[in-house]
Amino acid sequence: MTAPLFSWVQRKALENGKEDPARIRERWGVADRPRPKGPLVWLHAASIGETQSILPLVLALLDARKDVTVLITSTTRTSAALLADTLPPRALHQMAPYDTVKASRAFLKHWQPDVAIWIESELWPRMLREAGARAVPRLLLNARVSGRTARRWAQFPGSARVVLSSFDMINVQEKATFDALCAIGVSGSKVVLTGSLKKDRPPLACDEGELTRLRAAIGDRAVWCAASTHSGEEEIVLAAHQSHAGLLILAPRHPERAAAIADLSVSAGFITAQRSSGDTIVLDTKVYIADTMGELGLWYRLASVSFIGGSLVPARGHNPYEAAQLGSAILHGPDVANFAGIYDDLDQSGAAQTVRDATTLSEALNQSDAAHRNMAAAAKAVLTETSGATDAALKAILAHLD
């Protein structure tokens, strides 16, 4: 996109509350603080999932090199808010600059990164070119592409090859992405299949006192969670819940939709509580709207079964790692293109199950407790296979930092 188009995008984001008015200059490469002295490693991780996946790598890097500062950029307000609470000393956050020549040059002139790292699938052609012109090593870590992107690459292999060949190292998280890179001629020693950084992440944390309080409030009722749901999925989830005797914890992908979801739940006949309103869970609560950020660690620990949203509507799915790590059986819709590799592994291991509508979701929910425990155990087994992605990423960074 051109600079005028990015300006229009920013205006719309501000109108919709998706851009922080206090940080709009950062999107144009204008920093809010001076560059620290010494080596600086820049990592770009677009949103919440990517930023959380790199935190163990950031800690390992800071431990390995006491002279290094890490700069993390991201594009969403929610990721910025979470990072503000979790970044260790010697780690900074800025909003990512738009991919224009002027913004890229301003960003690089100020921060002068010694290594530039992109995470997963966001590729910025102008920034890549400008970083290359300054001889900054460029790494693509935890790389993955959807089937749709791979098909687009196959249609325009020359253009894709030019962009991707500009990276000095590409660490790939799954074989499908590795094969897609090879198919367009990007291969050799710079492309390494390492597995996913998300597999190496520790389980999501939670407030243990709050966990104890919620368990006491819930009692011995069965609990299931519908996590990261999108518009169009809540109706299916609530319809499936009609046949479930226990409590549904519904954690929408976008918490600002919570009031509308609560209305849907009440209209479906459920006694409904909303976390952001301070509602408590009582004996007749049937649906609990978990509309807060950073608390999935609570919900997955409470739920014996979790439906992972973004998969019954064309949103390409969300990651199942966190639920699997915390002992929840996994249900998902058919659209999981963003995480096809791990879902394939889970499905083939009997650790996850595909549902297509309210009927099949209800049937999956009402399987025996033993069946759900077996699924959860199988999911943990899939994730405990050592991937070594964090060690491989750290090794690549240190090699290009020296």
| Positions marked active-site | 50
**Residue 158, exposed/middle/buried by CB under 10 A (0-12, 13-18, 19+)?**
exposed
Nearest CA among 91, 110, 89, 92 for reference residue 29: 110
The distance from CA 165 to its chain's CA centroid, rounded to whole angstroms, is 25
The distance from CA 376 to its chain's CA centroid, rounded to whole angstroms, is 21
Nearest CA among 267, 292, 294, 383 for reference residue 80: 294
Q: What is the DSSP letter of 254?
A: S
Nearest CA among 44, 54, 381, 43 for reference residue 196: 54
The distance from CA 304 to its chain's CA centroid, rounded to whole angstroms, is 22
| Tokens 């301070």 sit on residue | 278
CA distance 247 to 224: 7
Nearest CA among 101, 56, 92 for reference residue 74: 92
CA angle 23, 145, 331 (to 5 degrees): 90
Kindly list the strands in the beta sheet with 329-332, ordered across the sheet, starting from the edge strand earlier in the chain: 272-274, 287-289, 247-252, 223-229, 305-308, 329-332, 352-354
CA distance 180 to 147: 9
CA distance 365 to 359: 10
300 close to 227: Cβ distance less than 8 angstroms = yes
216: Cβ–Cβ under 8 A, 6 or more apart, which residues? Answer: none
Tokens of 171: 């660490």
227 close to 309: Cβ distance less than 8 angstroms = yes
Tokens of 152: 């687009």
Residue 96 pairs in a beta bridge with none
Residue 223 pairs in a beta bridge with 247
